[in-house]
Amino acid sequence: MDARKKLNLKDKYALMTRDLGWETSYQPMDKVFPFDQYEGIKIHDWDKWEDPFRMTMDAYWKYQAEKERKLYAIIDSFAQNNGHMNVSDARYINTLKLFLTGVTPLEYAAHRGYAHLGRHFRGVGARVACQMQSIDELRHCQTQVHTLSLYNKYFNGFAEWPHMYDRVWYLSVPKSYFEDAMSAGPFEFITAISFSFEYVLTNLLFMPFMSGAAYNGDMATVTFGFSAQSDESRHMTLGLEVVKFLCEQDAGNVPIVQKWLDKWFWRGFRLLTLVGMMMDYMLPKRVMSWSEAWKIYFEDAGGALFKDLERYGLRMPKYHEIATQTKDRITHEAWATFYNYGAAADFHTWVPSDEELDWLSAKYPDTFDSVYRPRFEYWREQQQAGKRFYNANLPMLCQTCQVPMFFSEPDDPTKIAYRESTYHGMKFHFCSDGCKDIFEGEPEKYVQAWLPVHQIYQGNCGGASLEDVLKYYNLSHGHDNLDFAGSPDERNWNAWKDESSAHASGE
Residues that bind Fe ion (CB under 5 A): 107, 137, 140
Angle between helices 104-120 and 172-182 (to 10 degrees): 0
Here's the x/- map for Zn ion, 424-463, by CB under 5 A: it reads as -------x---x----------------------------
- Whether the CB-CB separation of 284 and 216 falls below 8 Å is answered with yes
Burial of 321 (0-12, 13-18, 19+ CB in 10 A): exposed
Among Fe ion, Zn ion, none, partner that 181 touches (CB below 5 to 8 angstroms by kind): none
Among Zn ion, Fe ion, none, partner that 140 touches (CB below 5 to 8 angstroms by kind): Fe ion
Among Zn ion, Fe ion, none, partner that 437 touches (CB below 5 to 8 angstroms by kind): none
Q: How far is the CB of 235 from Fe ion (least distance, A)?
A: 7
Which of 93, 94, 76, 75 shows the shortest CA–CA distance to 85? Answer: 93
Does the footprint of Zn ion cover residue 398 (CB under 5 A)? yes
Query: What contacts 101, CB < 8 A, 6 or more positions away?
Result: 161, 164, 165, 168, 171, 346
Q: How far is the CB of 482 from Zn ion (least distance, A)?
A: 27
Among Zn ion, Fe ion, none, partner that 431 touches (CB below 5 to 8 angstroms by kind): Zn ion
β-pair partners for 408:
416
- Interacting stretch for Zn ion, rule CB under 5 A, among 115-123, 381-389, 391-399, 461-469? 391-399
- Choice between 91 and 140, CB closer to Fe ion: 140
Among Zn ion, Fe ion, none, partner that 43 touches (CB below 5 to 8 angstroms by kind): none
Q: How far is the CB of 76 from Fe ion (least distance, A)?
A: 23
Does the footprint of Zn ion cover residue 272 (CB under 5 A)? no
Using CB under 5 A as the binding criterion, the count of chain residues that bind Zn ion stands at: 5
Q: How far is the CB of 128 from Fe ion (least distance, A)?
A: 18
Q: How far is the CB of 110 from Fe ion (least distance, A)?
A: 6
Longest dimension (CA), the chain: 86
Pairing label, strands 426-430, 419-423:
antiparallel
- Choice between 135 and 435, CB closer to Zn ion: 435
Burial of 374 (0-12, 13-18, 19+ CB in 10 A): exposed
As a dihedral over the C-alpha atoms of residue 40, residue 46, residue 52, residue 56, rounded to 10 degrees, the angle is 120
Q: How far is the CB of 329 from Fe ion (least distance, A)?
A: 29
Among Zn ion, Fe ion, none, partner that 398 touches (CB below 5 to 8 angstroms by kind): Zn ion
100/89 Cα distance (integer angstroms): 18
Q: How far is the CB of 219 from Fe ion (least distance, A)?
A: 20
| Phi, psi of 483, deg, nearest 5 | -65, 150
- Interacting stretch for Zn ion, rule CB under 5 A, among 20-28, 172-180, 223-231, 396-404? 396-404
156/308 Cα distance (integer angstroms): 47
- Interface residues with Zn ion (CB under 5 A)? 398, 400-401, 431, 435
